[in-house]
Structure 1
Amino acid sequence: MIERNVAPPPAGATVAAGLAASLVDFATGRGAQHTDLLARAELDETRLADIDGRVDLGRYLVLIDAARQVTGDPALVLRWAEAVGMAEVSIVGLIMEASATMGEAFVQMQRYGGLAMEIDAPASGPRYDLVRRGGELRMVERPMPLGIVPALTESAFARLVCGPRRFLEQPHVLAVHLAYAPPSYRSEYDRIFRCPVHFNASCNAMTLHPEILGWRVAQYPHYAFGVLAAKADILLAELEASKTVRGQVEAALLPILHEGEAGADRIAAQLGISRQTLFRRLQREDTSFRQVLGDLRQRLASDYLRGGKVSVNETAYLVGFSDPAAFSRAFKRWTGQGPKAFRRQNKGGSAV
Structure 2
Amino acid sequence: MTAATIAAGYPRGLVDFAVTQGADRVELLRQSGICEETLAHQDNRVPVKDYVRLFDVASDHTGMPAVSLEYGKAVRMQEISIVGLICEACESVLDVPKQLNRYAALVVDDNRFEPATILRGVTRGSQTWIEGPSTLFSDYPVIAECELARLVWNTRAMFVDVPEFKKIRFPRTVHLMRSAPKYKADFERIFEAPVVFDSTWNALQIDPEFLSLKQPPVNRYVFGVLSERADSLLNELRLSKTVRGRVETVLMEILHTGEASMDVVAARLGQSRQTLYRKLKEEGVTYEQVLDGLRQKLAVHFLSGKQVSVNQTAYLLGFSDPASFSRAFKRWTGESPRAVHQRRSPLKPRNQTRSM
- Could you state the TM-score of these two structures normalised by the residue count of structure 2? 0.78
SS in 2 for 1:25: helix
TM superposition shift of 1:233: 3.0
Pick aligned residue for 2:70 from 67, 74, 79? 79
Question: How has the CA–CA distance of structure 1 residues 121 and 234 changed in structure 2, closer, same or farther, with 3 Å as cutoff?
Answer: farther
Does residue 109 (structure 1) correspond to residue 139 (structure 2)? The answer is: no
In structure 1, what is the equivalent of residue 24 of structure 2? Answer: 32
TM superposition shift of 1:153: 0.9
Native 8 Å contact 2:97 2:119 kept in 1? no
Question: How has the CA–CA distance of structure 1 residues 272 and 136 changed in structure 2, closer, same or farther, with 3 Å as cutoff?
Answer: farther
Distance 2:36 2:256 in 1: 19
The RMSD of aligned alpha carbons is 3.4
What is the one-letter code of the residue matched to 1:222? R
Native 8 Å contact 2:121 2:131 kept in 1? yes
Structure 1: runs of 5 or more not aligned: 1-9
Question: How has the CA–CA distance of structure 1 residues 183 and 271 changed in structure 2, closer, same or farther, with 3 Å as cutoff?
Answer: farther
SS in 1 for 2:129: strand
Native 8 Å contact 2:2 2:110 kept in 1? no
Does residue 125 (structure 1) correspond to residue 116 (structure 2)? The answer is: yes
Structure with larger RCO (C-alpha < 8 A, sep 6+) = 1
TM superposition shift of 1:27: 3.3
Question: How has the CA–CA distance of structure 1 residues 43 and 296 changed in structure 2, closer, same or farther, with 3 Å as cutoff?
Answer: farther
Distance 2:248 2:238 in 1: 13
SS in 2 for 1:165: helix
TM superposition shift of 1:191: 2.5
TM superposition shift of 1:143: 5.0
Question: How has the CA–CA distance of structure 1 residues 225 and 253 changed in structure 2, closer, same or farther, with 3 Å as cutoff?
Answer: same
Distance 1:238 1:318 in 2: 22
TM superposition shift of 1:180: 1.2
In structure 2, what is the equivalent of residue 250 of structure 1? Answer: 248
- Could you state the TM-score of these two structures normalised by the residue count of structure 1? 0.79
Give deviations 1:172-220, integer Å, cap 9, x for gaps: 2211111112233333322221111222212211112222211111441
Give deviations 1:229-253, integer Å, cap 9, x for gaps: 3333333333333333322333444
Native 8 Å contact 1:122 1:243 kept in 2? no
What is the one-letter code of the residue matched to 1:138? W
Task: Decide which structure has the larger Cα Rg and report it.
Answer: 2
Give deviations 1:16-49, integer Å, cap 9, x for gaps: 233333333333444322586179535352x444
Q: What percent of counterpart residues are identical? A: 42
Distance 1:22 1:144 in 2: 22
Residues matched between the structures, number: 338
TM superposition shift of 1:263: 4.2
Answer with 257-266 or 157-166: which moved more: 257-266
Structure 2: runs of 5 or more not aligned: 160-164, 347-356
Native 8 Å contact 1:13 1:122 kept in 2? no
Distance 1:23 1:329 in 2: 53
Distance 1:267 1:58 in 2: 29
